[in-house]
């Protein structure tokens, strides 16, 4: 019989920790939160100091009963969820329930899942941090008050199913405001001039025109540029000034969550959600063969750059051995975390440098290895010497004009040997230069005038949006992935070419909220709320006081919005367009699928049509023909938004997904030919467009019917299958399902996405994930004798 019960959040984590603790312990998983605010009612009494009613989650009752049963038999209970606010709240709710059967309950924390860290945590238990619990409760109640009160208002004024969130809505506002900047942007013409020059010895080089009569030059049109070119063609080119100096490029600190998400996106192409899923697996533990299961990285939800002294000693020893003393600073590099960072946590780093890239390579899949290598390299580089460069700036006189060229030569690679870091603010036009000296004459080979136009600010990618949220103090490392997912799931924003584009609905909802809840949608106000949560956690502010300050203002805004907010459902905006059926004027209305035109004679005339004359995205036809029948394609609107359909419907039922370019205009699809070859006919593969979106297939498809299926990053879970990978497939109706890449040799198939989590109740090596609007995310086992099923908090 076990003497001690240890409770963690996930089965994978439980499995790893049990191997460290041995037979004297029983390790079980709570599967995340066990209690939450009720789903069908507010659950917060604003008149009684915001007293909250928490209930056992429906999917956790069976698990909680098992934990109580185990706790009753144990001498002591150790609560070991993740070391953050959410983990502390889980501990508090577990202690509430388990305290009824066992009073010997302790909180243990560890930043990494290694034997040393786990044993140290067990040997040094501590009480539950009530300040941290209060901060989580305050955050949860804030989100509940805003979502529960504003969402029904949007249902009444716009349409059912909409939602508002304290952080989500601010993120959406940032996306919408960037889109408005892009739409309002007026491009301006400008010209640049470079001169190809030759010194006394090679190589030739190029210098850029920068000044005229000692002042910065701006060329706005071709006429001005031609005048300058006339002067430059006859001028004498002479080296006027040389400036040489050494420049250092310092290494970046080890990863925090947002920086890991940013670099994983830029270097590996991983979405924020994918990055966090892979990092979770590396943190919870991987089986390394003879070494057993061990966590490979420290806790991956952190905003601190702090590194433990023992880890610093280990990495310094590694640097000296692997790179030499010249690459090792005299003392460790220390980095300052941003304001409000949780310094109790560490940065994301390998748990031990004994687990080198080559050592773990056989035990990790490709995605895991790529991310682990990124974390490993960044951590090692953070404790190395700066890279050094010899930079030269040369000013060249040409009559009344001055040209400039910058040269740079690396003299010492430093940390760049371990981690390739893109330079920030590198001098423009940096190139290899020949030997030059002051007053040296240069030969003009060619002048290169070039026309440019100013560009609007770019739309946000996942990485740049996370960076924007972090820099403005909005949200926390654990929330970024769910924020981005929610915006897309609610149809407030879509991703086109990996950049966020607000939908018509997203812009409407944002405008309504900004008009009626200016404070709640204010970036600075939201950041201040995050600071207040930090103050609650640090014991500097009572959680009820913070909630009162919020609610006093919120209640007034809500009462006013109930009266003053536009009732979009009932709006009818007159237009000059004439109904093609009865001749009356059309009015613009808002429906289930966005704006549409309806006859003002409704209900006598029920004619409706798409809006016209509001930009390219509103046109009913485009310059693209149906590949099946040759007729023009037209824009139609359905329950999931706009799409392309053949204008020959119903004789031709061809449809396609609507694509947009970087300016938000409709983009016609052209097959992108890839370097990868078709395994059947040896021709190149291509990115093609089908009725359900892009897919990768032979360039001769459908003559050659090879289609490369999308992998989800999981080996086939069937024990009998040794080489298959789980891939996405589509039914004839377009519904996604999952199967083995080795079909028909392996007949594994599922309507639900398999996830790499073993069933805690049977021998299944995987669970299935089901997501519905009503019940949210559920993990369950498809082994018929096993009834395991659990709700998951996103």
Give the model's confidence band at 638: pLDDT under 50 very low, under 70 low, under 90 confident, else very high: low
Lowest mean pLDDT among 31-45, 628-642, 674-688: 628-642
C-alpha pair distances (Å), 359 with each of 222, 322, 352, 417, 545: 61, 15, 12, 20, 52
> Looking at the predicted structure, is the pLDDT value of residue 344 above 70?
no
Mean model confidence pLDDT for the chain: 86
Q: Is 469 exposed, middle or buried (0-12, 13-18, 19+ CB in 10 A)?
A: buried
Span 468-497, pLDDT tens digits? 998 888 887 778 888 888 898 888 998 888
Asked if residues 409 and 434 have their Cβ atoms less than 8 Å apart, the reply is no
Is 299 labeled as catalytic in the residue annotation? Answer: yes
Span 742-773, pLDDT tens digits? 787 888 888 888 887 888 777 777 888 888 76
Lowest mean pLDDT among 7-11, 527-531, 723-727: 723-727
Asked if residues 723 and 743 have their Cβ atoms less than 8 Å apart, the reply is no
Span 600-633, pLDDT tens digits? 888 888 888 776 544 333 334 466 667 677 777 7
Residue 423 confidence (pLDDT): 58
- Grouping H, G, I as helix, E, B as strand and the rest as coil, residue 733 is coil
Mean pLDDT of 538-559: 91
C-alpha pair distances (Å), 423 with each of 223, 327, 373, 631: 36, 19, 20, 51
Which residues have a Cβ under 8 Å from the Cβ of 747 and sit 6 or more positions away?
740
> Looking at the predicted structure, is the pLDDT value of residue 156 above 70?
yes
Lowest mean pLDDT among 302-311, 542-551, 570-579, 667-676: 667-676
Give the model's confidence band at 94: pLDDT under 50 very low, under 70 low, under 90 confident, else very high: very high
Residue 670 confidence (pLDDT): 64
Q: Mind spelling out the 3-state secondary structure of 96-162?
A: HHHCCCCCCEEECCCCCCCHHHHHHHHHCCECCCHHHHHHHHHHHHHHHHHHHHHHHHHHHHCCCCC
Residue 45 confidence (pLDDT): 92
Catalytic residue among 54, 265, 270, 299: 299
If residue 42 lies in a helix (H) or strand (E), which one and from where to where? none
Span 205-261, pLDDT tens digits? 999 999 999 999 999 999 999 999 999 999 999 999 999 999 999 999 999 999 999
Give the model's confidence band at 465: pLDDT under 50 very low, under 70 low, under 90 confident, else very high: very high
């Amino acid at each position: 019989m076990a003497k001690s019960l240890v409770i963690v959040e996930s089965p994978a984590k439980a499995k790893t920790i049990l191997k460290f603790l041995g037979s004297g312990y029983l390790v079980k998983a709570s599967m995340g939160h066990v209690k939450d605010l009720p789903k069908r009612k507010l659950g917060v009494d604003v008149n009684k100091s915001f007293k909250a009613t928490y209930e056992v989650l429906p999917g956790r009752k069976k698990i909680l009963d098992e934990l109580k049963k185990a706790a009753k038999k144990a001498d002591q209970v150790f609560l070991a969820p993740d070391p953050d606010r959410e983990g502390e709240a889980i501990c508090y709710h577990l202690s509430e329930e388990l305290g009824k059967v066992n009073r010997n309950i302790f909180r243990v924390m560890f930043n990494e899942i290694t034997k040393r860290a786990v044993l140290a945590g067990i040997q040094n238990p501590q009480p539950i941090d009530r300040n941290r619990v209060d901060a989580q409760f305050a955050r949860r109640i804030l989100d509940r008050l805003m979502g529960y009160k504003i969402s029904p208002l949007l249902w009444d004024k716009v349409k059912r199913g909409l939602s508002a969130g304290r952080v989500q809505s601010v993120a959406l506002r940032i996306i919408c405001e960037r889109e408005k900047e892009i739409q309002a942007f007026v491009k301006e013409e400008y010209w640049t001039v470079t001169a190809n020059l030759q010194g006394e010895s090679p190589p030739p080089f190029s210098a850029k025109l920068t000044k005229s009569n000692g002042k910065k030059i701006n060329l706005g049109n071709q006429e001005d540029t031609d005048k300058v070119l006339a002067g430059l063609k006859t001028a004498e080119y002479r080296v006027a000034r040389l400036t040489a100096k050494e420049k250092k490029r310092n290494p970046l600190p080890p990863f925090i969550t947002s920086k890991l998400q940013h670099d994983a996106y830029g270097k590996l192409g991983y979405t924020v959600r994918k990055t966090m899923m892979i990092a979770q697996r590396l943190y919870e533990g991987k089986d390394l063969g003879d070494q057993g299961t061990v966590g490979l990285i420290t806790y991956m939800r952190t905003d601190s750059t702090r590194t433990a002294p023992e880890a610093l000693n280990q990495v310094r020893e590694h640097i000296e051995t692997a790179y030499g003393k010249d690459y090792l600073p005299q003392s460790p590099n220390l980095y300052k975390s941003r304001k409000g960072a949780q310094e109790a946590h560490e940065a994301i780093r390998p748990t031990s440098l004994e687990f080198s890239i080559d050592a773990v390579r056989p035990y990790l899949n490709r995605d895991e290895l790529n991310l682990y290598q990124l974390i490993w390299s960044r951590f090692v580089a953070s404790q190395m010497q700066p890279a050094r460069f010899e930079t030269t700036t040369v000013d060249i006189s040409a009559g009344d004009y001055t040209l400039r060229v910058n040269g740079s030569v690396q003299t010492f690679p430093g940390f760049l040997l371990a981690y390739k870091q893109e330079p920030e603010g590198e001098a423009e036009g940096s190139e290899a230069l020949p030997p030059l000296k002051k007053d040296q004459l240069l030969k003009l080979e060619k002048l290169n005038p070039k026309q440019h136009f100013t560009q609007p600010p770019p739309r946000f990618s996942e990485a740049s949006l996370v960076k924007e949220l972090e820099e403005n103090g909005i949200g926390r490392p654990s929330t970024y992935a769910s924020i981005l997912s929610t915006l897309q799931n609610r149809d407030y924003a879509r991703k086109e070419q990996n950049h966020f584009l607000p939908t018509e609905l997203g812009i409407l909802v944002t405008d309504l909220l900004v008009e009626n809840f200016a404070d709640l949608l204010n970036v600075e106000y939201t950041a201040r709320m995050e600071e207040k949560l930090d103050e609650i956690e640090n014991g500097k502010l009572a959680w009820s006081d913070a909630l009162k300050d919020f609610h006093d203002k919120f209640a007034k805004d809500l009462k006013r919005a109930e009266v003053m907010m536009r009732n979009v459902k009932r709006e009818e905006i007159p237009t000059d367009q004439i109904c093609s059926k009865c001749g009356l004027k059309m009015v613009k209305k808002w429906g289930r699928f966005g704006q549409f035109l309806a006859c003002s004679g409704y209900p006598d005339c029920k004619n409706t049509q798409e809006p016209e004359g509001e930009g390219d995205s509103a046109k009913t036809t485009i310059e693209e023909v149906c590949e099946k029948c040759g007729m023009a394609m037209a824009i139609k609107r359905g329950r999931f938004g706009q799409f392309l359909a053949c204008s020959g419907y119903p004789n031709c039922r061809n449809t396609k997904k609507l694509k947009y370019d970087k300016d938000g205009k409709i983009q016609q699809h052209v097959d992108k030919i890839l370097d990868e070859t078709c395994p059947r006919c040896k021709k190149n593969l291509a990115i093609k467009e089908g009725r359900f979106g892009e897919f990768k297939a032979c360039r001769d498809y459908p003559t050659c019917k090879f289609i490369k299926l999308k992998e989800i990053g999981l080996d086939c879970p069937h024990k009998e299958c040794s080489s298959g990978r789980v891939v996405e497939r589509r039914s004839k109706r377009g519904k996604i399902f999952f199967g083995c890449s080795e079909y028909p040799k392996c007949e594994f198939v599922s309507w639900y996405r398999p996830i790499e989590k073993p069933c805690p109740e049977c021998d299944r090596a995987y669970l299935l994930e089901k997501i519905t609007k009503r019940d949210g995310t559920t993990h369950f086992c498809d082994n018929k004798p096993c009834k395991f099923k659990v709700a998951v908090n996103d």
